[in-house]
A = this chain, B = another copy of it.
């Protein structure tokens, strides 16, 4: 096979171009053929593996993991909080990372939706101070009547205070005692308007709640442990802004959700930058549900969670990046 002689010139072109950094026209001149041919040779050299271009894997393993997670799930950006031996407690580190990422995602004049939960509260707690006048922080879900350690309005208010932004609270309970009352309240102009503006947000911040007995919905009395358990049997997988979602991330048509004063899930999905922060590894199934439901464009998780998500995605053949070329 006379392929050999062909290969030789391809090798040579690749060597001069990639290793020596000559330009294509210089290579062409030296090899005394047209530059167009050089361009073709170089493409073949790449295709044939005579030259290989690799992005370092071990050195930036967390970055690579993040990129893979983005590719698989279609996230805009993923941040991986490492779990090295020498690193700090990852769960403790995450709110810090989240806060700084959050800050960078804010643009002048943005409207920002903030939900509620332990994670969000911790993020608020370590949020740096900034001067973001013109930014508005709105509360994504209603308040808890009873005194509770992490109150939705506290999250909103604290973040707004730190950013020197305007905070707008939702003056309604998270859960009402009847569907009728919830409907009527939702119809109130002041409430309705506020809920209607949520889809205008450019950025949202929330975590996903679990459906275990230690869920906030149970702890704050919105649901009993038995009710929550029953919901789990009916397919509930997580909680977004106080509302139960099923394994596919869809709103569940249940009594609790109908009684819940919170942002319409469609409105939340309409927000361009949806920042989801998951600290606890046992929220894995809830995270999966939230991802499937499209509740995250920007995700912050631990490395092990990221790996589990990737694993699950590949097992279910959900990888959106079947087309990615090489």
B67–A11 touching, CB < 8 Å = yes
Q: List residues of chain B with CB within 8 A of the CB of A100.
A: 1-2, 19
Decide yes or no whether A53 CB sits under 8 A from chain B.
Answer: yes
Task: Report A79-90 CB contacts with B as 1/0, cut-off 8 Å.
Answer: 100000010100
Which residue from B1, B8, B53 sits with its C-beta under 8 Å from A62? Answer: B8
Known: A2-B100, A50-B56. A67 touches B19 (CB 8 A): yes
A59–B325 touching, CB < 8 Å = no
B11–A63 touching, CB < 8 Å = yes
Task: Report A1-41 CB contacts with B as 1/0, cut-off 8 Å.
Answer: 11101011001101100111100000000111000000000
Which one of A21, A53, A133 has the highest number of Cβ atoms from chain B below 10 Å of its Cβ?
A: A53
The smallest beta-carbon distance between A191 and chain B, in angstroms, is 31
Decide yes or no whether A266 CB sits under 8 A from chain B.
Answer: no
Q: List residues of chain B with CB within 8 A of the CB of A184.
A: none
Decide yes or no whether A326 CB sits under 8 A from chain B.
Answer: yes
A21–B326 touching, CB < 8 Å = yes
| Integer count of this chain's copies in the complex | 2
Q: List residues of chain B with CB within 8 A of the CB of A15.
A: 55, 59, 63-64, 67
A59–B164 touching, CB < 8 Å = yes
Decide yes or no whether A54 CB sits under 8 A from chain B.
Answer: yes
B56–A21 touching, CB < 8 Å = no
Known: A20-B88, A86-B30. A97 touches B58 (CB 8 A): no
Decide yes or no whether A49 CB sits under 8 A from chain B.
Answer: yes
Q: List residues of chain B with CB within 8 A of the CB of A325.
A: 20-21
Decide yes or no whether A223 CB sits under 8 A from chain B.
Answer: no
Decide yes or no whether A104 CB sits under 8 A from chain B.
Answer: yes
Q: List residues of chain B with CB within 8 A of the CB of A64.
A: 11, 15
Which one of A1, A7, A11 has the highest number of Cβ atoms from chain B below 10 Å of its Cβ?
A: A11
Task: Report A191-229 CB contacts with B as 1/0, cut-off 8 Å.
Answer: 000000000000000000000000000000000000000
Add 8 more A-B contacts to A15-B55, A19-B326 (CB < 8 A). A1-B100, A3-B97, A5-B104, A7-B60, A19-B67, A19-B324, A32-B86, A50-B59
Considering the complex of A and B, which 6 residue pairs feature the smallest CB-CB distances, nearest first? A11-B59, A56-B131, A11-B63, A15-B67, A59-B131, A51-B55
